Amino acid sequence: MLKLKRLIGNSISPAILGSRIIAHGQDKLVPLPSPLLAQWSTNRFFFDIFKMRDKEELKKERERIVEEMARGYFSDMGEIKKHGGKVALANKTIVPALTASKFPSLEVEYPDGRTLKLPIISSKEVANADVLPNPKASVLCLSFRKYSEEMIDSWSVPFLDTFSTSKDVELHQVSLIDKKILCWKPVKMLLLRSIRSSKPDGSNDALQRQMAYSFGDHYYFRKELGIVNLGTGYVFLLDKFGRIRWQGYGMASKEELTCLLSCTSLLLEEK
């Protein structure tokens, strides 16, 4: 009986590297075959990895829940009433290329059926880099709520007027949609179809405002850009490598707009 207990106890121990057998009244320790040992070690290794990954995912999700519960529609609107959407001051000068951060990749859909990844940069790693021109300067306007579109227009309309004849500049106005019902494929297709059927403005300028939509969860995208308030508009000036060289928020002031236009001109002169 004592030998039987030892046998059971040792067989379930994860640290044992052999197996006990009882033969001819003798208790012997027989090493496990190498393939079995290798399989046991591999399974244990992957089990530990998944266990650690689960803990990290749970921690991230817990932090996300706490952060999203702390903010909401009313807190965003409360801030906008205080500062008019100016969650931060716009850059007064262009950001040096060496210190500029990259704009995170964002998949967008256009009413004409195109699906692209922004920003468009000169790299073979980007799916659409070989079929699209590489602009020297791009302005990306982001809005998360419809009432911030007026803020975006205060930047985009003067920008279009100033660089209407330039072929080296692009303007993308992106609406980020995260409501699940609107991200459902049939509803999404209906939305894009209704936008596509609307009348174009008829402009023949070289620079056109490209309206795009991004559907899905943008939490980690917002985290990368430091976007907290969803009630305001965000404007980013990017160079041809997708680096953020200038950014603004809310309604454009005359000084901020002048700065955006001058920084764009500087990017067009860069080699």
Q: Which pLDDT score, from 0 to 100, does residue 88 have?
A: 85
Determine contact, residues 109/191, Cβ cutoff 8 Å.
no
Query: Which part of the chain is CATH 3.40.30.10?
Result: 84-269
Q: Which pLDDT score, from 0 to 100, does residue 14 have?
A: 44
Q: Which pLDDT score, from 0 to 100, does residue 2 have?
A: 46
Task: DSSP letter for 128, please.
Answer: T
Residues 94, 97, 103: CA angle, nearest 5 degrees? 90
**Which CATH number does the domain 84-269 belong to among 3.40.30.10, 1.10.12.10, 2.60.40.10, 1.10.10.60?**
3.40.30.10
Strands (E), the chain: 18-23, 26-31, 106-109, 115-118, 137-143, 169-177, 209-215, 233-239, 244-249
CB-based burial, 95-131: b 16+ in 10 Å, e otherwise: beeeebeebeebebbbbeeeebebbbbeeeebeeeee
Q: Which pLDDT score, from 0 to 100, does residue 130 have?
A: 45
Structure tokens at 26: 């003798």
Residues 63, 64, 70: CA angle, nearest 5 degrees? 95
Structure tokens at 82: 């205080």
What does pTM read for this prediction? 0.70
Per residue of the chain (271 residues), give pLDDT as tens: 444 444 444 444 444 444 444 444 554 544 545 555 555 555 565 555 555 567 776 666 666 555 555 566 667 777 777 877 788 888 999 999 999 999 999 999 998 888 999 998 754 444 444 445 679 999 999 999 888 999 999 999 999 999 999 999 999 999 999 888 878 888 888 888 887 765 455 566 778 889 999 999 999 999 999 998 999 999 999 999 999 999 999 999 999 999 999 999 999 998 7
Q: Which pLDDT score, from 0 to 100, does residue 244 have?
A: 97
